[in-house]
Chain A
């Protein structure tokens, strides 16, 4: 069975600082990996996805993530955080041939200090 762990429940960063959100997955084969963002009272918006190829993927809003097979990780990064990035971030894993049968992590709530 596939699973996703997001070790940090809450993270607070100052505006303009860099950000890294951690995600570790468990899956027997090559996974499909996703990062979603959820603002309060809203649905989830896809930030980026990894299916194959280049292990560094670029997403919307200046986010990027790196797939590291040896570490079973797919950490999300942003070089300079904006106040509008405050939200909850979810990492998810899917399996090949059924990429949208997603298993989500518990989420990381990001707070941004002015």
Chain B
């Protein structure tokens, strides 16, 4: 089966610019997650979707971050405007359900200059 696909792999932007990341989960996986991984640290959950509904977004900085999952398949994570501290790897993951194993994409490495 095809894995979780993320694009772009790398993105370099100047601060205050907008940026968007895209994720295509494994076919049939209803649950989708966005994680942020700072350098030298473990991933931290930003938002979790069950189909189209965001069921946990308590860790998402809502003043500048937004996410959507149209039609319950692909998802987009946006930052506007980006800050220097947003430099990190943004990981998307999907699973069949809340107690099924997570499958991670390769991530998007964001560098904000």
Contact = CB atoms under 8 A, between A and B. Distances in A.
A105 B4 contact: no
Interface string B76-95: 00000000000000010101
Interface residues of A, number: 23
Given A43-B105, A44-B91, A99 B41 contact: no
Contact of A107 (B42, B56, B100): B42
Interface in B58-113: 91, 93, 95, 98-102, 104-107
A46 B100 CA distance: 11
B31 interface: yes
Interface string A34-52: 0010000111111001010
Give the interface centre of A43, A49, A90, A102 by most chain B CB atoms within 10 Å: A43
Interface of A: 4, 32, 36, 41-46, 49, 51, 90, 92, 97-102, 104-107
